[in-house]
Amino acid sequence: MSVIDFFLRGHDLGLVVLAAVVCLVSSYACVGLLRHAHRAQGRVRLTWTVVAALAVGFGIWATHFVAVLAFRPGFTLSYDVGLTTTSLLIAILVCGAGIAMAIRGSSAADHFLGGAVVGVAISSMHYAGIAALVMGGDLGWNPAMITTSILAGIVLGGLAFVSAMGTGTRRLLGGAGLLTLAICAMHFTAMGAADFSRCFPLVANGSIHNGWLAVALAFISVLILGAALGSVLLDEADRRRTARERERQLRDAERINEATSRLELAMTHMAQGLSLYDGEGHLRLYNARLPQLLGIDPERDLAGLSFRDICQLTIVGRGEAPDNLDELTERVLEQHMPLIRGKGGEIVHTFSDERTLRINHSPVGDGSWVSTVDDITERQRSAAAIAHLARHDGLTGLPNRAMFNEHFDAALANAEESDNNLAVIAIDLDRFKEVNDSYGHAAGDVVLKTLAARLSEGLKDGELVARLGGDEFAALKSFTSMDAVREFLARLEAALFTRLVIDGSAINTGGSIGVAIYPEDGADRSKLLNNADLAMYRAKAEFDRRVAYYESEMDEHARQRRDMARDIWAALEQNAFYLAYQVQKSVATGDITGYEVLLRWERPGHGNVSPADFIPVAEECGAIGAIGNWVLKMACLEAASWPEPYKIAVNISGLQLAQVELIDTVRSVLILSGLSPERLELEVTETSIIADKQRALHILRQIKAMGVSIAIDDFGTGYSSLDTLRSFPFDKIKLDRSFMDEVEDNEQSKAIVRAILALGRSLHVPVLAEGVETRAQLEVLKLEGCNEAQGFLLGRPGAIDWDDALEAGLLA
């Protein structure tokens, strides 16, 4: 209470407030600089320690003397220059020591001790400053209050530094407040401990007047204020820098964590085995896939093992170590080390369990390297399968044309260099198309695979069988005696001619075989294959022959067919074909019902050629489609100009019927000619329908919808399937001419004709008999109820002479 009373009555409150402000500013500057110096290192830390010591030292000193100026003892005070300066030095030096202790300390105790030293500096400076007062008399003191003032400075100073060295703005402001309290509490308690009642003023040389002291204090206050402002700026800059650094470190940590996580994720889930070896060749990093691929126990820790150790573990796998393990290891190292010590590269290893691994080494440059392991087992298998498919038939597994040609060329080269001969054999299955048509393509595939297995069974050295495509096979036989060739052909023939049971159906297989011999029948692959084909076609053409050897006259036959094919194309370009018409009549009345359109060709230099001769060649050379379209067009144009609206019947080839374009062709021809659709009848054979029944019937339905009639030709031969008649509403059945030859005196032929006529009546489909050449044949047809007939008896094919027809009463 005496201190408070002394404070209220004996001081200029305005200057007291100023002293408190100076104290607070200097305290804030001190703790701010203290923090800054604590974060600095080396000489920078020393610099900031000195700055902090100056700020707090001047602050304590200025606070003291401003407060002394506020003191009103009843007389004017003067100050000794030396002691005043000494008090300032005490404040700076002792505070500097306390600040240095706090900065270098790491615990709260260290920080408290540094603050306590600053508290000692406050007390020492104060009492040195009191001693600097120039006055007379006897200054009295209260020991208890002196002790209290010193303890207040020490305790509050220590607490101030503990708070200031913490983190956050609140701890900073708390430290500044506690230091301000330490200075003020110490000063005013110490001032309260002094008794100036027995003192009087003195004037001494070298003393400082109050006015000059005020100027000095004002200057020092500006310095302190600047230091405080600088401390604020430094603290803010430091705070921002710290925040940026923390943010950068946080980002770096996040990137590192993310990269680490990604690396771990990639290493865990990558399909490759990954390993990193140091410069000494020891394994430092690997993923879980590595031991799996190498066949090493995944539970075993491989870190630190040498590359040699890894090679040995890979060789052993999970089995027993072989007796020559060291030798095998050296072989492996001899393969890998040149790559590791060189520029890197890859090696492919195939293991006994059919695993294939590709190992790639990538040197880093400091002796270390990265190795990756890929399991390419499936890739190798796929590559091998693709390579096999490239040279083998996909269905039968036999060598294909490419592989056959390779072996053919090699066999020719061998035959040229040795005394061996070479037999080239062409094989074509008989009636294979019928198998596909009757039993389906699945059954056809079974036939091909079975015959391929039989043909290739028991092949000897120098023998080869290949599938060239479809039902076409070929074989090679190197030989020195014809007996060996005949024995090989006997085996092939036995393999071809067999009886197969597929899905309960019995299928008899067979084939035609043609043989050409090197060097007698040709010296190159193309010539020999061509001659073998010619021989095969000769065998196919002769009913009782299975194997045919090439003969030179076969070339002449083939040349003739080539010449005819050339002339057929020329005839198309020159419009050299012409049409003939054969009349069709009612059996009951003899009236004309229509005309069948027949194609004729007078070949230059050869005269008239039978369609039976040139139509097969036209089919072979691809001209049949163009010929069929020409016939349809010209027949419709000519019929449209006739004086009587008789129906015309035009034959459609199997090739035409297989083309959807036939629908548009018929439509455009009818539009072009102006012929009524009811006057056009298209004749198709059942064989041409069976080739692709669904497509053929679709095309016929579209044409029939136009109003065109559809007749099934040559019925009674080929398939003669009732299913075909059931599948499509034909407008006419044409009985094949072969039945007319014996119908007069052969009861069996007559019974067949009778059955077909009865079938037509039951289906309400009229029947026309072809090949009627005698009156007896016509009488049989009339007796059996046949609807229509055509043949030489009723009229030969040719141009229609309408005048003669009128005179004969045909148009009546």
Whole-number Cα distances in Å, 344 to 214, 262, 294, 340, 368: 84, 26, 20, 5, 12
Helices (H), 360-463: 377-391, 401-417, 432-439, 441-456
Question: What single DSSP character describes residue 718?
Answer: T
Burial class from Cβ neighbours inside 10 Å (0-12, 13-18, 19+) for residue 159 reads: buried
Q: What pLDDT, on a 0 to 100 scale, did the predictor assign at position 622?
A: 82
CA–chain centroid gap for 204, Å, is 103
Using an 8 Å Cβ cutoff, are 513 and 547 in contact? yes
Low-confidence ranges of the chain (pLDDT < 70): 1-11, 72-77, 202-236, 238-239, 242, 259-260, 543, 554-555, 691, 718-721, 803-812
Q: What pLDDT, on a 0 to 100 scale, did the predictor assign at position 247?
A: 82
Using an 8 Å Cβ cutoff, are 23 and 61 in contact? no
Prior bond to 519 cis, omega within 30?
A: yes
Q: What pLDDT, on a 0 to 100 scale, did the predictor assign at position 742?
A: 80
Per-residue pLDDT tens digits for 397-435: 999 999 999 999 999 999 988 888 999 999 999 888 878
Alpha-carbon torsion angle 517, 519, 521, 524, nearest 10: 100
CA–chain centroid gap for 138, Å, is 104
Half-sphere exposure of 326 (CA within 13 A, CB side): 0
Q: What pLDDT, on a 0 to 100 scale, did the predictor assign at position 203?
A: 59
Q: What pLDDT, on a 0 to 100 scale, did the predictor assign at position 679?
A: 95
Q: What pLDDT, on a 0 to 100 scale, did the predictor assign at position 807?
A: 57
Whole-number Cα distances in Å, 758 to 396, 597, 779: 47, 27, 17
CA angle 695, 699, 703 (to 5 degrees): 170
Using an 8 Å Cβ cutoff, are 614 and 560 in contact? no
Q: What pLDDT, on a 0 to 100 scale, did the predictor assign at position 691?
A: 66
Q: What pLDDT, on a 0 to 100 scale, did the predictor assign at position 135?
A: 77
Q: What pLDDT, on a 0 to 100 scale, did the predictor assign at position 810?
A: 47
Q: What pLDDT, on a 0 to 100 scale, did the predictor assign at position 524?
A: 92
- Strands, E assignment, 56-215: 78-80, 133-137, 140-141, 194-195, 199-201, 207-208
Q: What pLDDT, on a 0 to 100 scale, did the predictor assign at position 277?
A: 92
Using an 8 Å Cβ cutoff, are 186 and 139 in contact? no
Q: What pLDDT, on a 0 to 100 scale, did the predictor assign at position 78?
A: 73
Alpha-carbon torsion angle 778, 782, 788, 790, nearest 10: 0
Picking from 91, 319, 610, the residue whose alpha carbon sits closest to that of residue 99 is 91
Helices (H) and strands (E) in the chain, counts: 28, 27
Using an 8 Å Cβ cutoff, are 681 and 733 in contact? no
- Which residues share a beta bridge with 735? 715, 769
d(CA 418, CA 14): 133
Using an 8 Å Cβ cutoff, are 659 and 622 in contact? no
Q: What pLDDT, on a 0 to 100 scale, did the predictor assign at position 811?
A: 45
Q: What pLDDT, on a 0 to 100 scale, did the predictor assign at position 554?
A: 63
- Which residues share a beta bridge with 502? 505
Whole-number Cα distances in Å, 247 to 143, 172, 239, 241: 55, 22, 12, 10
Using an 8 Å Cβ cutoff, are 281 and 275 in contact? no
Using an 8 Å Cβ cutoff, are 518 and 415 in contact? yes
Half-sphere exposure of 23 (CA within 13 A, CB side): 26
Using an 8 Å Cβ cutoff, are 648 and 639 in contact? yes
